[in-house]
Amino acid sequence: DSIKVFAPGTVANVACGFDVIGLALDAPGDEMILRRSSEPGIRITAIHGADLPLETSRNVAGVAVQALLQKYDQPDIGIEIEIFKKIHPGSGIGSSAASSAGAVVGVNHLLGEPFTKKQLVRFAMEGERLACGSAHADNVAPAILGGFTLVRSYRPLDITTLHTPEHLWVTVIHPQIEVKTSDAREILKQKVLMTDAIRQWGNVGALVAGLYQDDYELISRSLEDVIVEPIRSILIPAFHELKLKCKEAGALGGGISGSGPSVFMLSKGEENARKVAATMDSVYAPLGVDYKIYVSQI
């Protein structure tokens, strides 16, 4: 009556797809142990590796499971959750999403899989609402469904998974400074210029086409964000130098991971992804900021 869950980190937005595109990483990821308990209700018994609230209604995993149990509608269910955080809160690699997603996947398993994965996304979104005030799905969807995901619409919720080319890799650098998603959303403009919108939806469409056609050059040309990155990039040390040097080292392209401060770069093949990791290291080593670098196949 217990289960151990691996909850992967995720890269939201993937440059042009603000709030709609996301991808799942191999590392970092949280681990969670979920248990059935004879005492009704949800209890977060411990959180290792981060200072986060244990109180169910203030914890993203607690709130996500609450949403699930409300729908399940059997008031005597008791759940205990123990969380081992490996993804730092405020990293831009979907820390809150991993907790929410891992919790609902685990509880669904303990209950005998009454809900589909897409239903689980909806419950996990409640965790995101608590974490940053907006129930975006571009981290929780890839955390639950894997690979690349696309949110076509929020109302009604319409989410689909996307094909991933066989040799697509991602390198992520996490500078150890905290950027709160709520702050990084507040600084954005609420209106966009038509010329920027045209460029952005051209890129989103072409990124999806590139994924399906295994066309790495098209993917490369599409990794451009003219709406959000110009505003948020000021929060990230050496962002433009990092991007430029990674592209010179062979990256297809990249941008801010989620709301930052992490930065991701896509590459064709593991060798390029590792070269990009070394380049990230050489750009950040002199800065005096602590950082971690992760390489994953998507």
By CB under 6 A, name the binding residues for ligand HSE: 12-13, 18-19, 94, 136, 138-139, 181, 184-185, 258-259
Please identify, using beta-carbon distances, which residue of 160 and 213 lies nearer to ligand HSE: 160
Residue nearest ligand HSE by beta-carbon distance: 258
**CA gyration radius for the chain?**
19
Question: Least distance from C-beta 141 to ligand HSE, angstroms?
Answer: 11
Please identify, using beta-carbon distances, which residue of 62 and 94 lies nearer to ligand HSE: 94
Cα–Cα nearest to 295, from 279, 143, 207? 279
Within 13 Å, how many C-alpha atoms sit on residue 97's CB side? 35
Question: Least distance from C-beta 247 to ligand HSE, angstroms?
Answer: 22
Give kind and range of the element (H or E) at residue 113: none
Residue with the two structure tokens 């952005």 = 200
Beta carbons of 273 and 170 less than 8 angstroms apart: yes
Beta carbons of 222 and 148 less than 8 angstroms apart: no
Q: Which residues are catalytic?
A: 128, 181
Question: Least distance from C-beta 17 to ligand HSE, angstroms?
Answer: 9
CB under 8 Å to 220, separation ≥6 — which residues? Answer: 210, 252, 253, 266
Please identify, using beta-carbon distances, which residue of 86 and 136 lies nearer to ligand HSE: 136
Question: Least distance from C-beta 148 to ligand HSE, angstroms?
Answer: 14
Please identify, using beta-carbon distances, which residue of 18 and 148 lies nearer to ligand HSE: 18
Q: How far apart are CA 105 and CA 81, in angstroms?
A: 12
